[in-house]
Amino acid sequence: MTSVCRNKRLNRWVEEVAALCRPERIHWCDGSRQEYDRLMGEMVSAGTAIPLAGRVNSFLFRSDPSDVARIESRTYLSTRNREDAGPTNNWIAPESLKQTMTSMYDGCMRGRTMYVIPFSMGPIASPLAKIGVQITDSPYAVCNMHIMTRVGERVIQALGKDGEFIPCLHSVGAPLGPGQKDVPWPCAPVEEKYISHFPEENLLWSYGSGYGGNALLGKKCLSLRIASSMARREGWLAEHMLILRLISPEGRRYHIAAAFPSACGKTNLAMIRPTISGWKAETIGDDICWMKIRPDGRLHAINPETGFFGVAPGTSFSSNPVAMGMLRENIIFTNCALTEDGDVWWEGMNGTPERAIDWKGRPWTPGRGEPAAHPNARFTAPAVQCPTEYHDWDDPEGVPIDIFIFGGRRSAVIPLVYEAFDWDHGVFMGASASSEATAAILDKVKPVRRDPFAMSPFCGYNMGDYFRHWLEMGDRLAGKAPRIFYVNWFRKDAEGRWLWPGFGENSRVLKWMCDRVDGRVGAIKTPIGLMPEKGDLDLSGLSIPEADLEELFFIDKDSWRREIPDIHAYFEQFGDRLPDRLRGQLRALDERLLSA
């Protein structure tokens, strides 16, 4: 970094961390291409990164088999009052957690470089942006942060002498003794891994893991767990949502934010290519959505990230051609298979190689009984390479949200689409959102888990208070609140056959939502919400049997009534933190089902 940091608090913190962790050297990251290339070259020389002959400036990493995903059991929310963390978070008292982790940080960077990464989540000039500084001993984390955030001197300049930042401390937890040879993927044993959040201090400490959101602290750690707590205090929203712009043939732009649990098609929807003639889509974000009420009284959103950290398995030219189109160059792949011609491969990609090297570095052939790529194998891709990226990427004001969508993977009960009666009902829909635990369970009635707003693993405070915050945001928005819908692309018939084609055809459902926003179509009032009238869903050019359409929109009142006790049990764990308005919504649903 050529400029000098003038922020006294930051300089003091860097000195304190260096004194504790005792690195061999300190490097302030400038975010330049030269820095990225140098670090990647060093990791290639060390055997950590494998250059890919099949893709320009792209590299494959193989993690340690013990370090392959987020570790929910080792992820903590540390507040003074346990109730403030709530029943959905792992809690440890701050004093105890800091004492444990400080002893682990003591000398943890010996023999390594300590990197200081100043980064901005969101356009630096945006009123919706936040600045963080990550200290890490992982060059892999640095290169990923280059792609996922805005890194470097502009951030230091924006901080100035006394600007606020979120301190994010990370170490792989593998100090090197004199002359000790490093391993390709250093990390600590699982029982020594800690991913710790101190929301009352806007503070992050992570130790022992070099993988994904455990090490890229701008991801879920800052952008959701810490940011959601900040958002509650400051009156905005930090959500686990995609952001999509849909453009009608007339040029009318609609902005949609949608929350889905894992394996429910969030990235596919973010990168949708509409099948309806004349309609276009632009990808604004696939994972994180920060929203504030702006002077026009509307909720404006930004994607605070600058890249995609996507799950590779299942991604193909059939399922997501847009994603495949952006992976041709400048990509970091992690835990994918390596083909003989120097390219990557994973299960679900088009075609199957005759042989490859699997994610553990072993020879692999089809039918071996183990996957070639880890199920959580990832790609890190610059957002600017997305073929459907929106042109006003750095607009500091963000985009005004017209529509919220919640959803999950349910083979029965939930119809294709329905709309909330009002804001409170929409919050209830998000708070009771559910998804089947796994498609591998063979029972007819599959167990489901509640994942409200797709935030269950990511909410940085008690979710009862989180629901209340959403209700209060609706009160503030009043008549300018977005409309709220619920979708289920995954309904099946009695033989297990998909009833809806999904993927690009989902644009037909989105078009109906846009028509509802503009008042062009009506809706049928049902016990669960407002549903399309016959003929209002644009099915032109699509051949779906009438019986399938009826099943897609069929409401089995008995099945819905069986949902009531499960929702009630989920809500009651929050005790008096659960807003009475949600209890009222549950009672109202039960009464509507009884009287229908």
pLDDT in tens, 101-154: 999 999 999 999 999 999 999 999 899 999 999 999 999 999 999 999 999 999
Spatial neighbors of 72 by CB under 8 A, at least 6 apart, are 90, 457
Q: Is 514 marked active-site?
A: no
pLDDT digits (tens, 9 = 90+) for 362-371: 999 998 889 9
User: How much is the pLDDT for 445?
Assistant: 45
Tokens standing for residue 293 = 């009420």
User: How much is the pLDDT for 71?
Assistant: 87
Residue 572 has pLDDT above 90, yes or no: yes
Q: Specify whether the CB–CB gap between 318 and 350 falls below 8 A.
A: yes
Q: What type of residue sits at position 402? A: D
User: Percentage of the chain with pLDDT > 70?
Assistant: 98
User: How much is the pLDDT for 2?
Assistant: 56
pLDDT digits (tens, 9 = 90+) for 247-304: 999 999 999 999 998 878 899 999 999 999 999 999 999 999 999 999 999 999 999 9
Helices and strands in the chain, H and E counts: 16, 31
Segment 517-524 mean pLDDT: 97
pLDDT digits (tens, 9 = 90+) for 539-551: 999 999 999 999 9
Residue 447 has pLDDT above 90, yes or no: no
Residue 500 has pLDDT above 90, yes or no: yes
Residue 440 has pLDDT above 70, yes or no: no
User: How much is the pLDDT for 448?
Assistant: 85
Residues in the chain: 596
> What are the boundaries of each domain within the chain?
8-48+70-235, 307-385, 402-595
Spatial neighbors of 284 by CB under 8 A, at least 6 apart, are 242, 243, 244, 245, 255, 270, 301, 303, 390, 399
E strands, 286-377, are: 289-293, 299-302, 307-311, 332-334, 337-339, 344-345, 356-357, 363-364
Q: Is 128 helix (H, G, I), strand (E, B) or coil?
A: coil
Segment 330-358 mean pLDDT: 96
Q: Specify whether the CB–CB gap between 353 and 339 falls below 8 A.
A: yes
The conformation of residue 533, written as its DSSP 8-state character, comes to P
User: How much is the pLDDT for 389?
Assistant: 81
Cα–Cα dist 377/506, whole Å: 26
Pick the CATH number of 8-48+70-235 from 3.40.449.10, 3.20.20.80, 2.40.30.20, 2.60.120.10: 3.40.449.10
Burial status of residue 369 (CB atoms within 10 A of its CB: 0-12, 13-18, 19 or more): exposed
User: How much is the pLDDT for 262?
Assistant: 80
Cα–Cα dist 50/444, whole Å: 45
Average pLDDT score over the chain: 95
Pick the CATH number of 307-385 from 2.170.8.10, 2.170.130.10, 3.40.718.10, 3.30.70.100: 2.170.8.10
pLDDT tier at 444, thresholds 50, 70, 90: very low
Q: Specify whether the CB–CB gap between 379 and 286 falls below 8 A.
A: no
Segment 83-105 mean pLDDT: 98
The catalytic residue among 168, 264, 289, 514 is: 264
In DSSP notation, 164-228 reads --EEEEEE-S----TTPPPPSS----GGG-EEEEEGGGTEEEEES--SHHHH-TIIIIIIIIIHH
User: How much is the pLDDT for 155?
Assistant: 97
Residue 504 has pLDDT above 80, yes or no: yes
pLDDT tier at 233, thresholds 50, 70, 90: very high
User: How much is the pLDDT for 441?
Assistant: 33
Domain 402-595 CATH assignment equals 3.50.50.60: no
Segment 553-577 mean pLDDT: 96
pLDDT digits (tens, 9 = 90+) for 376-427: 999 999 999 999 888 787 889 999 999 999 999 999 999 999 999 999 999 9
Residue 457 has pLDDT above 90, yes or no: yes
User: How much is the pLDDT for 125?
Assistant: 86
Residue 1 has pLDDT above 80, yes or no: no
Residue 159 has pLDDT above 50, yes or no: yes
User: Percentage of the chain with pLDDT > 90?
Assistant: 92
